[in-house]
Each structure stands twice: as C-alpha cells, then as structure tokens.
Structure 1
C-alpha cells in the first residue's frame, strides 16, 4: 500500500506534504498504517460563514412606551453549509441552541427558547426610562459534520454569532389636555426623536441578568 502523509494546519489553512512511502503486506509499516480520518474542529466550524439569526424586538414602528412589554423573538433555523477537506466533500450543520439578549440598558437575558411573536410574551422585557437603546442577540450554535455523505458526527465545542443590533426608542408618554379640533403637530412633538448623545437611553440602575 502507498501511504502519503499530509499535515493540515487548521489555523492557517495550509497543507504540508510529508512525502510518500510504500508499505508491503506483512510488514510493521502496513499493520501500523493509520486510516485517513477527516474531522472538523471547533476552529474549523468558527471559520465557516454561519449566518446570524434575525432578531425581532419591539413594535415595527421602532418605539414603545416606557414600561410597555417589549417582545423578543427569533427564527431558530438550522443552517447547512459545505466545505472540502483533503479533496473530500464535507457537510456542516449549525443548530441554534441558546440565545443571549442584551437590551442595551444593562439588562440581559439568556434562554434556550427562541421566543414567539406578539401577542405571546415568552421572552419579554421593559424599559424604565426614556431614550434610544440597541438590542443585540447573540446565538450559540452547536455543530455536526458529515464526510462524503456519511453519518452525522458532533463537532466538539460551540460558536457564538451576534446579530445586527435592533435600535428601539423608549418614550415616556405624559397625559395632557389638548384641543381635539387641532391636528397633532408631529414636528413640535415627534414620536421618535433623532438619535443623538442627548437622546441615548440611560442605564437601568437595577439592571440584572435573567436565565429563562
């Protein structure tokens, strides 16, 4: 049997040819010849283009009243990708297993539940103060790989992928007497002010981390 040795650098992605040797049946070299095993490491997994999940937060208008429930959810789709190792096709499967929500005011939520759209309140939170906040979802993915159409094998370790932040304005609504015959002047009292250092939301002094 002819054996070729190849050293694969998972970090740099380079292959080093260790040369060829011949092993004849009945010799120690033949008996000790290891089979070619293709595996996918966590580092290999992290280099693949796993897409971030779409984070959904708050009403579509981009604002909500202070102390109003903010609904958080995402679509937990499993992604399948393909690559090639040692000239052999390898399929990769990335499955979301947990979700970390950073609400931008110091409060965070970690859960294994992707949540549900309104009116469900499976994953929810409120803002206690007025201002702009960025809501960020970071998803943890587990992985599996299949070599040349073979059985699925687990990848040792997980990866984290952050979604694009969702900007949301928390508005403090105040009751006031108005003349019903006069239309609302949105320029005088805009529902959503321009984002600036003066309109950024403050941190919640009672911020906490919740695990659901």
Structure 2
C-alpha cells in the first residue's frame, strides 16, 4: 500500500502553540510547539474494515523571516520543559528584525495500516500535512515589565 491509497483516511493538521502568545521580542527566543500525537483513522477499504495509524516523525517550521528548522519532536511550552521565559528550545526562534511574520508548520507522518484480520503493516511513503499558518509580531523592547519581583522569585515570569 502507498500513501496515495489513503485518500479516505486523512491525517489532520497539528494544532500549534507559541509563547509569548502571538508576539516576540527582537533578539530573544520565541518558543513554538505542535500539539500532536499519533492519529488513528478507521473506515472501509475494499469493503473490509481498515485502520490507518499516522505517527508524527518530523516537524518543519518556517518562521516567516527566511529562517527554517526541522526537528524530530514537536516541542513544548517553557513550563512543560522546566525552562524560564525566553529560554532557547529546539523549536524556538530569535527574530533579528521587527515586523509581522507568518509562521507555518508542516508535519511528516509515517503511516501504518491494518486491513481485515491482518496485523499492522507500513505504508510506503510519507504523509505531509501543513498546519494553519499564524502571525507573529516581533518588536524591539529595551525594558520588560514582569509581574513579580525577580529578586524575590528569580524563576518568575520574565525573570
């Protein structure tokens, strides 16, 4: 079976996240991630029950300023990674100029199928699914206001 045989079993776009939400400070890391996991599709193939499992294997970020990165994982929020705000992550990006940028994520999925009473078998090829593009506004900042006293709580937001 090939990827072209999976027309009735689509893989769905991965929801995306970023922080800070929708904006970035020039010269500091903005963090991006994909909220994706394996997807199971069910239906009929040649009149027999079939299942297709799409497993994410690659993430390709286009940050809108000419920079791109590819990773094997979708990334995570700073909090989930145990990092402070503006820390560098495998999926973060530092904008070097102010402006409005369109960010696009494309996820590569490996597909496996189960047909009738047979076990799981690999599908030949890769399924590539773009996510919904979103906008990031990058601006210059010389001062960042934070919600807490960074001396009292050095791990507080923005400290």
Output the TM-score relative to the length of structure 2: 0.78
Q: Which residue does 1:49 correspond to in 2?
A: 10
Is 1:155 aligned to residue 123 of structure 2?
yes
SS for the counterpart of 1:81 is strand
Measure the CA separation in 2 of the matches of 1:87 and 1:46.
Answer: 15
Is 1:81 aligned to residue 57 of structure 2?
no
Post-superposition offset of 1:144: 0.5
Gaps of 5+ in 1: 1-39, 176-212
Spell out the pairing of 1:105-124 with structure 2 (5 A cutoff). Answer: 105-119=65-79, 120=81, 121-124=89-92
If asked which structure has higher relative contact order (CA below 8 Å, sep 6+), I would say 2
Note the alpha carbon deviations across 1:166-201, whole angstroms, 9 max, x for none: 2110011257xxxxxxxxxxxxxxxxxxxxxxxxxx
Between structure 1 and structure 2, the one with the greater Rg is 1
Spell out the pairing of 1:17-96 with structure 2 (5 A cutoff). Answer: 40-45=1-6, 48-60=9-21, 62-96=22-56
Q: Which residue does 1:31 correspond to in 2?
A: none
Contact persistence 2:12–2:129 (CA under 8 A): yes
Measure the CA separation in 1 of the matches of 2:13 and 2:124.
Answer: 20
Post-superposition offset of 1:151: 0.7
Contact persistence 1:70–1:124 (CA under 8 A): yes
Is 1:136 aligned to residue 104 of structure 2?
yes
Spell out the pairing of 1:124-203 with structure 2 (5 A cutoff). Answer: 124-174=92-142
Measure the CA separation in 2 of the matches of 1:150 and 1:71.
Answer: 42
Contact persistence 2:51–2:115 (CA under 8 A): yes
Post-superposition offset of 1:141: 0.4
Measure the CA separation in 2 of the matches of 1:122 and 1:110.
Answer: 9
Post-superposition offset of 1:149: 4.3
SS for the counterpart of 1:90 is strand
Contact persistence 1:72–1:115 (CA under 8 A): yes
